[in-house]
Amino acid sequence: MKKIYGSASEALDGLLFDGMFIAAGGFGLCGIPELLLDAIKDAGTRDLTFASNNAGVDDFGIGILLQTRQVKKMISSYVGENAEFMRQYLSGELELEFNPQGTLAERMRAGGCGIPGFYTKTGVGTVIAEGKEHKDFGGETYIMEEGIFADLSIVKAWKADATGNLIFRKTARNFNPPAAMCGKVCIAEVEEIVPTGSLDPDAIHLPGIYVHRLIQGEHEKRIEQRTTRAA
């Protein structure tokens, strides 16, 4: 099965449609599938729902799709650092389903494992629990959260082999593995594609069975907030 494509637009060919549900990796500005997001912007696909830890910043990450009004709904756990996100939400232009961070990661992982729902104590007694099923286990109350099943997963990794086995670098190994798991189709953009068999099996963070398409490209190395001290 051919998995390597020449560009982000080629890898997305035949997959995009208005109103689709996309799971995207990344945390802050780390591990964001920036090439694929640029290609989605260029494609003009609209009314998108994104499950992602955050929406990047105004001019990077999912933020570029907020600027072009291509996003209808965000399922997120962190909504800071993005003025346009805040403006659209407060004005009623953007739907937001807020999730605790661990709950969002587990919803993605559960979807990737074929688990439609699970119980968690996180959010009990808060607005997060409103409208959700409650159940007691061992004298403690839990709420049910649903697994995420996306039309498409887009992730960013450091290395891959031709079969799609992925290695993430440091903090980029955050939401990328669970996001990759929960899509019907997963596209990974990587900094380097190496020959099959050259990766240490014990070092692989996500097996290639989850990855359907691959692209290699140059990536920006942004720092979200630079903190320095006087010399």
Please determine, for residue 19, whether its predicted confidence score (pLDDT) is greater than 90. yes
SS (H, E, C) the chain: CCCECCCHHHHHCCCCCCCCEEEECCECCECCCHHHHHHHHHHCCCCEEEECCCCCECCECCHHHHHCCCEEEEEECCCCCCHHHHHHHHCCCCEEEECCHHHHHHHHHHHHCCCCEEEECCCCCCHHHCCCCEEEECCEEEEEEECCCEEEEEEEEEEEECCCCEECCHHHCCCHHHHHHCEEEEEEEEEEEECCCCCCHHHCCECHHHCCEEEECCCCCCCCCCCCCCC
- How high is the pLDDT of residue 218? 86
- How high is the pLDDT of residue 113? 96
| Residue-wise pLDDT tens digits, 140-188 | 999 999 999 999 999 999 999 999 999 999 989 989 999 999 999 999 9
Mean pLDDT of the chain: 94
Mean pLDDT of 127-137: 96
Structural domains of the chain, ranges and CATH numbers in brackets:
18-117+149-216 (3.40.1080.10)
- How high is the pLDDT of residue 83? 86
